[in-house]
Amino acid sequence: MAPAGTFALLALALAGTWPASSAATRISGRVLPVTTTSARLSASFTPERLGARTTLDFGFSFSTPTSRVPPPLTEIELRYPSNLGIALSGLGLDTCDARTLETSGPPGCSPNAIMGYGEAFTGILLGTTVITEDAPITMLRAPDQGGHLALLFYSEGTTPVNTRVVFPGLLLPSSAPFGGLVSIGIPLVPTLPGAPYISVIHLRATIGPRGVTYYEHLNGMTLAYRPLGILLPKSCPRHGFQFQARFDFLDGTHASARTAIPCTRKRR
């Protein structure tokens, strides 16, 4: 991982050396090579016990045959199983708005708005050099939109780009066999004039009580506790817990991936 000064020197030294492509998309004056991106999706429950409360871990990663980094990601649609008790999870008792996050970060919000944590591994390709960064993510409950549960994702990077990024998510209905989908809009994160936007290489995140602490004020005392978590059904779906994701990229291409969590059939 390169320090900010190194990043600036690399950008200046490599200015004007972006690789050309015969198939390209022009966006905001930039010519973006069109690539074929493959996506992988993973999901797991911790703990994994039917009828019990749990934390959902999910992740995705990208690769391309022609570039060392994928094109910048612009949107995610993650479909989840119909038999998950997300609404009964006890998560997101409070909400936080985007303006507060942008100015104060998660410490400016109620801890009872946090729904999970994660980490994004990002990069940009400067000539033949890939500059990468790990950026932590905090997922928070936002005020509902149109009767739908809304989310905000907060990520703060320091190297090679010092920036705060806030992007929205929304829980929406989905057709069978899925119970709903999380629609997430990914903002473009600039680096230097003429340089590529930051690309997401892989990301992992959680929705659930693991690592999350809530607080309740009772009789003049502040009590810390862990929220309940997502409620798994008591019976096992025939093909396990099915997940599906679609990813949109800045160059106009798309990718999709599926995965399933098989049931252990253990009950609490």
When pLDDT is cut at 50, 70 and 90, the band that residue 2 belongs to is very low
The C-alpha atoms of residue 89 and residue 209 are separated, in whole angstroms, by 9
For the CA atoms of 57, 60, 61, 62, the dihedral, rounded to the nearest 10 degrees, stands at: 180
Strand partners, 73: 249
pLDDT digits (tens, 9 = 90+) for 14-53: 333 333 332 344 444 455 555 689 999 999 999 999 999 9
List the domain boundaries for the chain.
32-257
- What pLDDT does 14 receive? 36
Would you say residue 194 has pLDDT above 80? no
- What would you report as the CA-atom Rg of the chain, rounded to the nearest whole angstrom? 20
Q: Are 202 and 63 in contact (CB under 8 A)?
A: no
Mean pLDDT value across residues 200-229? 94
The C-alpha atoms of residue 260 and residue 42 are separated, in whole angstroms, by 8
The angle formed by the CA atoms of residues 5, 6 and 8, to the nearest 5 degrees, is 65
pTM of this prediction exceeds 0.95 = no
